[in-house]
Structure 1
Amino acid sequence: MGRSTSAVRLSRALSVLPQHTLEDRRELVGLLASACKGADLVVNSVLTRPYHLLVEDPTPWAAVCLIPQSSTDAFPAFGAPSLPLGPRYHRLTHVARRQWEWHCARGSVNRVRRDGGLGPLGLRSPLRAMGASNPILYPFSPSLVPPPADWPAHCHMTGFWYWDRTTWQPPADLRAFVENGTPPVVFTMGSLWPLYRRYGVLRMTWEAVRKAGRRMVFAGSRYGEELPPGVFQVDEVDHRWLFPRASCVIHHGGLGTMSQALRAGIPQMSVPALVDQPYFAERLTALGVASAPVPLAGLSASKFAASLDECLGNPDLVRRAAHVARSVRAEPGVARGAEVVESWVDAGCPGG
């Protein structure tokens, strides 16, 4: 079966994004190694990995991952096909993913090591230490992703990490719009809004919201577009203030936006496009707090409107969202993450 026209357009749009060359990766490894030189501990993200720590004597490190990546029999590695082949297949996909990631980075790491007078590292992926001997922190709620029982001992699902701004105040016109009428639908695509804009998603969203008899707050840049009377546009807004005042949130499936909606206890609808977004969109629907996701590839006005109608009209989503919110609010995500790292350092970074 051939790909849809929308899927082809999305593929072409992504193909024009800047691509890192081998020299770019080598330079990045070198810069990170220099920045971390002499550190007592490094906490790296999923974007940096611990590669830069391998170019000299190892520095103790912990990792933060935004998608579940630890080896398990319970489900396949992120990006691997979901095949009915059982636990051994699941475990094998995790090993293969670690080896593939190391294959992509090994040349850059070893080039920097040779420049520093060190010998090259072998084929076995050092990323297997993530969660086994080195802590790996997952900054999301076990309500959303129940941690498998066979995860390594140093895997920690902490709860979401929130940045709560104490000084932010809503503009007077935004407050008036939100509070003088029925709770609006909130539409936000985060940092990927330029990509979504190319597909006319704003107009499609407003048409569906209008047909549902609702108002809308659009969080994002309008790029000169004229907005109808029922839409309020704001470039930047504190989700902690806005989301509890909304009827539902339409978003791209990003971890930060959906975590704020989960804490607010309101139904969600997702339009995922890239990387972790389809995964989290499916998890939200399985959790019972979101309508069926509408992927950007293959997006149509009818699918969009049907999902929004479900999001606004299904009382089970409202009840379930309120229930999950109580659990999410009780999880001390940032404090738990800090406690894990501090305890590991206090214990002498065993295995690190």
Structure 2
Amino acid sequence: MLKTAPPTRLLDLRRAHYASFADYDPSETVLRHAWTFFTEQPQATWYDGRSFVAGIYAMPSAGPNTWAFGYFETEPQCDPDEFTAEWNSLRAQYPGAWAGPILGSTFLPYRVVTEDSGAPYFPGEWRSRPEYAELLVDQNPAKTISYRSAERTDFQGVIDVSQPYLDRWTDHGFALQHLNPSDPEHVNVLRGMIDAVFGGNFGYQALSEPQFDRWRTSLASTHGGTPLLHWVQLGERRVGFSYLFALDNGTVIFKTIGLLPEFQAQGLGNAVAGALHQLAQRRQAPRCIYALVQADNRVNRMPDPDIRLIRSYAAYFFTPLQP
């Protein structure tokens, strides 16, 4: 049975790899919060190997005989050939497809870093070593899901690009309204809407009511700053939501814009983006960060003047090993 506290070796490896970085949290607050979700997953197992460690659990939402892996760290001097042999041996013990890295839920930080500008990490990023991406790519994943984070300091360009969409949808009753994460009715509607919007995404599995409540209450407790949540309204109807996070230094992180499927690919997302940048401008935010956006997300097809890439990331899907 898994212990409720993260394994000592995992904490030791992370300390060895990341303690020299300014954003390192010796208490591992985010990891400990995520670990609770991991221990609740079906057939959750901790692998304490020779060259690497990992958490593994069954992920039926991604298909039968599919396993997720996460909490992946290697020894400082990891030989690639030894890693491959050990990786294949472990996969043989858990036959089927593998997906990851995922820490127990896609509501939590996951992925590995593939390119790094050296910019400070922001809340919601999971620090990893770029070497991990190289090791995992060498195992020939069938699919790579790519993500990026970027920033801009001048919002007027994107506001101007979004204005025609904002004008059109305002004529149809579009508005942003405050979403209260302490209101049970709001929370219940939000949980169902998140399932409807993201249910088909890589690795997604719905949270139970207690898990969702833990995630909701963690939004402000695991990092310094303030969550900014809004409903996307068309008249009286809630058709989506947005989740921004304001850091104590004024920076606004764009976390999520979610629209119900029947309202996607119609320009409403562009209208929401324009309204949210106007909000950041009114707050006199020194910069906006666009966090962990999937590379094929439609938002990436908007013109992006004055944008700077911070980091790129990846998650991987491996088909079953062939005998």
- Place the TM-score, normalised by the shorter chain, in its bin: under 0.3
Higher RCO structure (Cα 8 Å, ≥6 apart): 2
Larger Rg: 1
- Which structure shows the higher helix fraction? 1
Alignment TM-score, normalising by the size of structure 2 = 0.27
